[in-house]
Amino acid sequence: MSAVDQTRTGHRPGTRTGARTAAEIRPVPFSRLTLVEWRKQLDTRAVRWLFVTIALLTAGVVTVTALVGEGDVSFETFVSNTSTPLAMLLPIVAILATTAEWSQRTALTTFTLEPRRGRVVGAKLLTAVGSGLAFFVVAVGIAAVAHLGVVTLRDASPDWGLGAMTAGMALMIVLWMVQGVAFGLALQSTPAAIVVFLAVPTIVGAITMLLTAWSDVWPWLDLSTSSVPLIMGEPLGGTGWAQLATSAAIWVGLPLAVGVRRVQRGEVKTS
């Protein structure tokens, strides 16, 4: 090909006229990937209704707490009560956001735009933990307003101290959010993940009450049992932390490992 022909066709020696190679395509920044996952997590009709439910439950809990007795309720008690609806329902938001890739058939688009699936999983985990902590801060703010209102309107004694109960609830919300992502990745089905997340602790709790001979064993196997002292603000000690770590490995770490493996090696189906 002559130099004139090369000029007319736009072809130059050593250049490509087809698609760019993967090395030439700029990777998606993790910050942008995280923002996209965060928007996918919060911007759905189901999640909005779930937030409405959490808000209504929180309002009811705050009202009951404020009207109990003479109003001498500590700030930390308000924090515990306003955080309870979050602990119950917010992990379902993580499940919905995680399983949406498969229930809404968007996994192909997601993994085409970002072929490194581990980064997508990391963004889902980061947004889930971030949402859990952000809404916990909101719950603390609501508790502060409620406590201030009770102190002002009912002339109650102020008690603004925060301690182990608040820290324990924050830690458990983080664990439960990660657990929601883990169940979503492992099961890749919204109904199955929600049912397992809600039903299994109830079943295990019922078994715990029936099999009293196993009462010393369940804290090592059941996350709900091992987390009770932490949520109540009681000192755990070495044995308590070991039980919490073991049960978290079973109910959070194991499903997460299974889910990551499924995402990394699974075939993305379009139908």
pTM assigned to the model: 0.84
Residue-level pLDDT at 16 = 47
176, exposed or middle or buried, with CB in 10 Å at 0-12, 13-18, 19+?
A: buried
- Domain parsing of the chain, residue ranges: 29-265
118 Rama class: left (phi>0) / alpha (psi -120 to 50) / beta = alpha
Could you tell me the mean pLDDT of each successive run of 10 residues in the chain, 271 residues long?
46 46 64 87 84 90 84 87 90 90 78 86 93 93 91 84 90 94 92 90 75 77 88 88 94 95 79 55
Residue 52: strand, helix, or coil: helix
Tokens coding 73: 């309720």
Round to whole Å and give the CA distance between 254 and 261.
11
Residue-level pLDDT at 210 = 77
DSSP conformation class of 250: I
Residue-level length of the chain: 271
Round to whole Å and give the CA distance between 140 and 218.
31
Distance spanning both ends of the chain, measured CA to CA: 47
Residue-level pLDDT at 44 = 80
